Amino acid sequence: MDKATEIRARILDAAEGCLLDGGFRSGRLHSTIAARAGLSRPTLYKYVGDQDAISNALIHRELTRFLELLAPILEAPAPIGEHLVTVLTFVVDHARNHPLLRAALRDVPEQVLPSFTTHAGVLIERVELVTRPHLQRRIDSGELPDVDPRLLIDALSRVAISMVFTNGLVDLTDPDTLRGYLGAVGLILNGTRSPSTTG
């Protein structure tokens, strides 16, 4: 790791800690991050930028980490119904339990929720870049109907977002319960009951 990368990592680690401690509403967040990182404010500006740049860099880092975790799940050779249930369960459970997202929803929900509702298209476009090749492979093999992958990605992304941010008649906070609930997706797509939904 070179010096610039190491300093950026220190800044982002400090920013994450500050935000988890309730810093989303802080008027002096930049100064607090600098102090926590053991760096000067000019150094923060030099290596990352202003507060918006730090937020964007954190989002990019967390998205990169998420996609690294998601990649082997997407590549798994399970039957399509079971596969989609596994993917959706992972995505929903990961988002619901993500410390930074929970902190943001706690402190500044009015700033966070539009990214997952009225502006969710931006997020779904990022998801499409990663998931489209995997769905296209399943379409080409005949496991899925010959439809535009964009439609499936949009629909499944909306399902996942809804599961993360809304409550219903069934408590889905437990991952096993969530997986059983999402087993309905497997039932619809492959015409048989997924083993995860039996019992």
pLDDT score of 191: 55
Number of C-beta neighbours around residue 159 at 10 A: 16
- The terminus-to-terminus CA distance of the chain in angstroms comes to 50
pLDDT score of 88: 92
Do residues 187 and 81 lie in contact, with contact meaning Cβ atoms separated by under 8 Å?
yes
Whole-model pTM: value is 0.82
Torsion angle of C-alpha atoms 37, 43, 47, 50, degrees rounded to 10:
90
Residue linked to tokens 């600098």: 34
**Domains of the chain: which residue ranges?**
1-57, 76-192
The domain 1-57: what is its CATH number? 1.10.10
DSSP state, 118?
A: T
H or E element at residue 74? helix 51-75
Nearest 5°: CA angle at 60, between 35 and 47? Answer: 40
pLDDT score of 43: 94
pLDDT score of 59: 83
Over its length of 199 residues, how does the chain's per-residue pLDDT go in tens digits?
A: 689 999 999 999 999 998 888 877 777 888 899 999 999 999 999 999 988 888 888 888 988 898 889 989 999 988 888 888 899 999 999 999 999 999 888 888 888 888 889 989 988 998 899 999 999 999 999 988 899 999 999 999 999 999 999 988 888 888 888 898 888 755 665 554 444 444 4
